[in-house]
Amino acid sequence: METQNFSSNPLAKAGLIAGVSLVLGALFDYFFYEKIPGLALPLYVILIVAGLFALAHIFKKRINKEVFWLLLPLFFFSAMIFVRSSDLLSLLNAAASFLLLLVIAEISFGKKIKNFWLADYVKIFFLLFKFIRPLFQTLSDFFVPREFNKNRKTLSQIIKGAILAIPVLCVFLLLFSSADLIFQKYLSSFIAFNVEETVVQAILILIITLLLIGAFAYIFRKIEDRTVVPKDKIYSLGHIENSILLGSVNTLFLVFILVQLTYLFGGESNISAQGFTYADYARRGFFELIAVAVTALLLLLATEKYIAKKEAGHALGFKILSTALVVQTVVIMVSALTRLALYEEAYGFTTQRLYSHTFIFLLAAIFGLLLFKIYRDKKENAFALRAFIAIILFLVGMNLLNPDAFIARQNIARFATTGQLDVYYLSHLSDDALLDTIKILNIANDDLRKSFAQNLYQRAQPSPDAALLSGWQPLNLSRLRAKKILDANIKGLEPSEPQGDFQVIIN
C-alpha cells in the first residue's frame, strides 16, 4: 500500500529520484574522478540500469521488452573498456554505451525502437536537452510540495533547510579557516581536504546528479506527456526534379569512373603519359572518395524520403537511377580501397587506415540495406532499425578484431617482405598490441630491435600520470597483461644490455 504513494505523491517520487541520482552522482565521482576508465565503467553502467529497474519496480511501471535486447550491446561495449586499452576503440565503446543509455531512456516506457524513423535516431544525440524540463519539474515538486499533511510539510522544510545550510556553512568555514591559523589547524585536523579539489568534485557530483534526475524524471514522466502526434508525410520533390538531380550525379560519377578505369585500374603506363608516377597518383584522394560515398548515401536517403511515390512503391525511373548511383558508388569505394591498399603497401597499417578500411564495408552494407528498402521493404523504420543493428555489429566486430593487435601483426608480417618497420609507431600502440609487438625483439635486424627496445624501456618507466591508474577503478585486462610482460622483460630492455639474442618472456 505504501508503494502506491510514490506514484500519487510528487514529493515522495521526486525525493526518491533525487536520492537515487545523488547516490549515482557520488559514485561517479568515486569511480571516475582523476581516474582512467576501466573496470569502473561497466560497473557504473550496471548501477545505472539497476537504478532504472529499481525505480520502475517501486513506481510499478513495466519496462518495454526491447530494453532487454539493448542491454546486451550496452553491457558488451561497456565491458570492452575493461578488456581493450586502445584510446580510439575505448572512445567508441564509451560513446556507444552512452548513446545506448539514451536510447533506453527514450524507449523504456515510450516509443518502441522498431518504430523509430531515421530522424528519431538523430534526435537521440539531442535527448539531453529534453531532460531539462523534467529536471525543473522534479525540483519544483521537491521544493514546492502541494497538498501534504503537516508531517510531510515539516519533513520537506527540514530537507530544504539542510540543503540551503550546507553550502552556506561551507563558505563560512573556508573564510574562517583562511582568517585564523589556529581555527584552520583545528579544522584541518578534523576535516582533511583540498579546497580546490573539493569544489571541483562537488561541482562534478552536482552536474551528474542533476543530469540523472533529469533523465529519470524524463523516463518516468506520464505516458500521456510522451505521446507524439504523427505528422503526415509531405513530399516536396517530384519525379522530374529527382530525375534531373540523380541523372546529373550519375553522369558525373560515370565520368569519374571512366577516368579510374583508364588510369587507376588501367596500368602505370597510362598514368606516366600524363606526367605522374603511379604511386603519386594512387596514394591520394582516399578520404575524399569516402566523403563522396557518404554524401551519395545522404543524397539517396533524402531523395528517397521526399520524392512522390506511386501507391505500389517507387517509380521505375527512381529505381533505375538510384540503383545506378549505388553501383557507381560501390565502384568508387573499390577505387578508395585500392588507393588505401597502396598506402598500406608503401607505409604499413595505421589506426586511421584500418578504421577507414573497415568503415567502407559498413557503408557498403548500409547501401545494400537502402536498395533493399527501395525495392522490397518500403518502411523507413525497418531500414533505420537494420542500419542501427549494422552499426552495432560493426562496433562489435571492431572489438573482436582488436585493431591495435591486428595492425601490429600486419606490419610485422609486412617486414618479412619489405624489410621496413616503423618501430616507433608500433611501440606507441596501446597495450592491446604489446603481446604481438614484443616479438620485434626477436627479429634479425639489430638496429630495429635496439630502437624498439629503447622505446619499450621508456614506456615501462613510471609515468607522471601514474596516479590516474591507481586503485581498482582503472583496472583493465590489457594493461595488466602488458605490465606483466614488461616486468618480465625489463632487464633485457635496459639500454646497458646488449641487444643480441634476446629471449622474450611472455607469461
Quote the pLDDT of residue 232: 47
For residue 176, which of 195, 162, 150 has the smallest C-alpha distance? 195
Note whether 86 and 131 are within 8 A (CB).
no
Task: State the Cα–Cα distance between residues 448 and 337, nearest whole angstrom.
Answer: 30
346 grid coordinates: 608503401
pLDDT of 313 reads: 64
Q: Is 260 helix (H, G, I), strand (E, B) or coil?
A: helix
What is the DSSP-derived secondary structure letter of residue 229?
P
Q: Which of 62, 64, 60 has the alpha carbon at shortest distance from 6? A: 60
CB-facing half-sphere around the CA of 499: CA atoms within 13 A: 21
Q: Which of 13, 108, 24 lies closest to 59, judged by CA?
A: 13
User: How far is the C-alpha of 433 from the C-alpha of 64, rounded, in Å?
Assistant: 40
CA distance 432 to 101: 26
Which parts of the chain sit beneath pLDDT 50? 1-4, 148, 224, 227-235, 311
Instruction: Please calculate the CA angle 373-375-381 and round it to the nearest 5 degrees.
Output: 20
